[in-house]
Structure 1
Amino acid sequence: MMRYWIGGAAMALAAGALPAPAQAGEILDRVKERGTVRCAVFDDQPGLATLGSDGSWVGFDVDYCRAFAAAIFGDPEKAEIVKMNFAQSFPALQSGEVDVANMAITYTLGRDAEQGYDFVGPTLYNGMGFMVHKELGITRAEQLDGATICLTAGTLLDAYLSDWFGARNMTYQVVAVEQSTQRYQMYEAGRCDVVTTELPLLAARRSRMQNPDAHVILEETFIKSHMGPLIVETDPQWSNVMRWTHYALINAEEYGISQANIDEVAKSTQAPDVRRFLGLEEGLGAKIGLHDGFAADIVRAVGNYNDIWERNFGMSSALKLPRGMNALAQDGGLQWAPTWR
């Protein structure tokens, strides 16, 4: 079972301070010496990270941590889960208390250029969405003219909504709340027509409502959001390990290789690109400090990107989110990976 603990020592560091410079390979060496990769995750966020009924961690961000562990050690159980809140994750990265923050953190210019962080992915292409009461019969965002929205008034989200509605000559009315969590309670009680936040979080909230089927998440989004694991940018080798773990998940799906069929494919394939991917020839792992079969170990541990999506967000999960923007580029989405060579 994956180990997990609650971080705390890193809170002494200022969240805006730049990470100390690191030599290339320093973080990977530290992780290998420790024998685990430490990942910060949200505590009890359905779809992203929750404790399962058997006491083990499950979720999209947890699966990515297990993929990192499989890439480095060949063993997904070498993932060490550290539950934290959003504010704790930044100083924890800076101090080295954790190696990666798997918390669906939004990629922004400031975090990239000023705060010394690097982003993996995007593992999730996302955006702010609308959830409405099914009984209203609303199926498109353009039907929200005149709607009431439970909202913490005066926030940046209020400004974004004003821009979105104004650009379409539409109006909305704010049902003001003092705390963000209250808006979901008021929405479920019928005090407003609409509640809004990022799509996976909306789906998580819906899954915990008294009657999830009574609520519809519209397909349209506003305010684009590129999300993914966060690492310090001072060690290029570590960035490569994290990034190519993500690409391995995407490439596996592009090749049609899943957790269910990887052993069969490995025995039968004669395709040079697939054999390179699986580490059967022209080993590439050493280029980034990993073993040649690291991509195959990732797929055996957690599957491909679609496997991860379906069990955590997809129609067979409690959240029931369509792939949407996160479909492969060849299927009309945005997820793709560079050449495996």
Structure 2
Amino acid sequence: MGGPTTAFWMRMAGLAALAMAAACGDRDREAEAPVTEARPGAIPTATAPVESPTLTAIKRRGRLNCGVNQGLVGFAYTDNRGEWRGFDVDFCRGLAAAIFGDPDAVRFVPLTAENRFQALAEERIDVLWRNTSWTMERDTGGQLAFAGVNYYDGQGFLVRRALNLNSATELTGARVCVQAGSTSALNADDYFRSRGIDYRAVVLPTEEAARQAYGREDCDALSADVSALAAARTTLADPQQHVVLSDVISKEPLGPVTRRGDEQWTAVVRWTLNALILAEEMGVTQTNVDEQAETSRVPQVRRLLGAEGDFGPRLGLSKTWAADAVEGVGNYGEIFDRNLGSQSPLDLARGLNAQWNARPGGLIYGLPVR
């Protein structure tokens, strides 16, 4: 075959000239375009936050309605003066402080495991902070939104020392008390069935009923979250005659729950929890929070406490929302110690609930405020 004709080469030259002209035009336009230099890590200008119907209702009402356990030592219970105390109770107070600057602007609504989600759906409470496990079924059911994890737990067994048991695998033929409406019954059944162990579940309507049945020896073992078993042990006539076995048969990430559909309110709950966790990590305490807010030069601390940025207003709160929460109830470590740890009757080790950078480290990890 012959080579390209002269006409072909002329067409190709014309196309090349057009391409060069277009490229020059693009460069001219680029040169004319204004150049803006962004600060490293800068966040695009945020739009005004979507109004939260739940937060609006809370502010109009003048208090937070917080769903809690009916009575679980360490987590939520009333003392001999009728005052609510406990780990979950303090997080409710911290949330109220973040909203109103007042940790007492909260009404506690005691709920059972069976009616807790109904109370949330019927808007009788704004947030459920009641030892509730974050599971796939609950998360994908369309009604609940989990805002985070404030306690990593697992299910275990409480037994009498007189039985001389070393493991839950020795509970063949045993009567095991569990609470209705919780994950405990399913977890216990999974554990025993997977090992071919015969047992009899004794299902009680409430945690209190399950504890009382165990105390009356209506069952040989009580199965619940390890933290709940530690609390139950303190209520027995002779706690030293009972032991929590070393077996942990499930993962129970416990945390606050809100109604699905109000993402802005879920964010308020999530970031208040994170603020209390971050405060411990950064050394901000109930006693030094005011001083840190005024004098700290650490950017992360200044953003957390409202000295820099407008992170509170993005949630529909004040600039000092996080500082108000810490001032109201202390940081995560302070809340843990006085309710569950060394300053409490339970004397639980931090374990998985230690900060991620502690030695040994745990799973508690605050999301960054930036």
**TM-score normalised to the size of structure 1?**
0.81
After TM superposition, list the pairs within 5 Å mapping 1:10-159 onto structure 2: 24-134=51-161, 141=167, 144=170, 148=174, 150-151=176-177
Residues 150, 186 of structure 1: 8 Å contact kept: no
How big is the shift at 1:260? 2.9
Residues 183, 195 of structure 1: 8 Å contact kept: yes
Quote the residue 1:10 is aligned against: none
How big is the shift at 1:76? 0.7
Query: Which deviations, in whole Å up to 9, do the C-alpha atoms of 1:16-53 show, x marking residues without a partner?
Result: xxxxxxx7421111111111111122222222211122
How big is the shift at 1:79? 1.1
Q: 201-210 or 254-263, which moves further after superposition? A: 254-263
1:322 is the counterpart of 2:344 = no
Q: Which structure's residues are more often strand, by fraction?
A: 1
Q: 176-185 or 236-245, which moves further after superposition? A: 176-185
**Shift in CA distance, 271/49, structure 1 to aligned 2, threshold 3 Å:** same
CA distance in 2, matches of 1:116, 1:146: 39
CA distance in 2, matches of 1:109, 1:166: 22
Quote the residue 1:288 is aligned against: 315
Quote the residue 1:16 is aligned against: none
Residues 147, 267 of structure 2: 8 Å contact kept: no
1:214 is the counterpart of 2:203 = no
After TM superposition, list the pairs within 5 Å mapping 1:195-214 onto structure 2: 195-214=222-241
Residues 146, 170 of structure 1: 8 Å contact kept: no
CA distance in 2, matches of 1:124, 1:191: 30
Q: 86-95 or 247-256, which moves further after superposition? A: 86-95
CA distance in 2, matches of 1:310, 1:147: 39
How big is the shift at 1:231? 0.7
Q: Percent identity?
A: 36
CA distance in 1, matches of 2:315, 2:123: 20
Q: Which amino acid aligns with 1:334?
A: L
Q: Which amino acid aligns with 1:297?
A: D
CA distance in 2, matches of 1:105, 1:235: 19
Unmatched 5+ stretches in structure 2: 1-49
CA distance in 2, matches of 1:74, 1:182: 38
Q: Which amino acid aligns with 1:131?
A: L
Residue number among 311, 318, 336 corresponding to 2:365 in the alignment: 336
Quote the residue 2:298 is aligned against: 271
**Shift in CA distance, 178/41, structure 1 to aligned 2, threshold 3 Å:** closer
Quote the residue 1:12 is aligned against: none
How big is the shift at 1:91? 2.8
Residue number among 271, 280, 285 corresponding to 1:253 in the alignment: 280
How big is the shift at 1:121? 1.5
Q: Which amino acid aligns with 1:307?
A: E
**Shift in CA distance, 259/196, structure 1 to aligned 2, threshold 3 Å:** same
How big is the shift at 1:100? 0.9
Residues 147, 194 of structure 1: 8 Å contact kept: no
Quote the residue 2:27 is aligned against: none
Query: Which deviations, in whole Å up to 9, do the C-alpha atoms of 1:81-108 show, x marking residues without a partner?
Result: 1223333332332232221112122212
**Shift in CA distance, 67/160, structure 1 to aligned 2, threshold 3 Å:** closer
Residues 40, 103 of structure 1: 8 Å contact kept: yes
CA distance in 1, matches of 2:70, 2:226: 18
CA distance in 2, matches of 1:297, 1:320: 28
CA distance in 2, matches of 1:50, 1:189: 22
RMSD: 3.0
How big is the shift at 1:191? 7.6
How big is the shift at 1:178? 6.1
Residues 192, 199 of structure 2: 8 Å contact kept: no
Count of aligned residue pairs for this structure pair = 316
Residues 133, 254 of structure 2: 8 Å contact kept: yes
How big is the shift at 1:193? 5.9
Q: Which amino acid aligns with 1:27?
A: T
CA distance in 1, matches of 2:127, 2:210: 31
What secondary structure, in the 3-state scheme, does the structure 2 residue paired with 1:38 have?
strand
**TM-score normalised to the size of structure 2?**
0.75
CA distance in 2, matches of 1:218, 1:182: 21
**Shift in CA distance, 190/291, structure 1 to aligned 2, threshold 3 Å:** same
How big is the shift at 1:319? 2.1
Quote the residue 1:305 is aligned against: 332
Residues 141, 218 of structure 1: 8 Å contact kept: yes
Query: Which deviations, in whole Å up to 9, do the C-alpha atoms of 1:226-262 show, x marking residues without a partner?
Result: 2212111211110110000000111011112221332
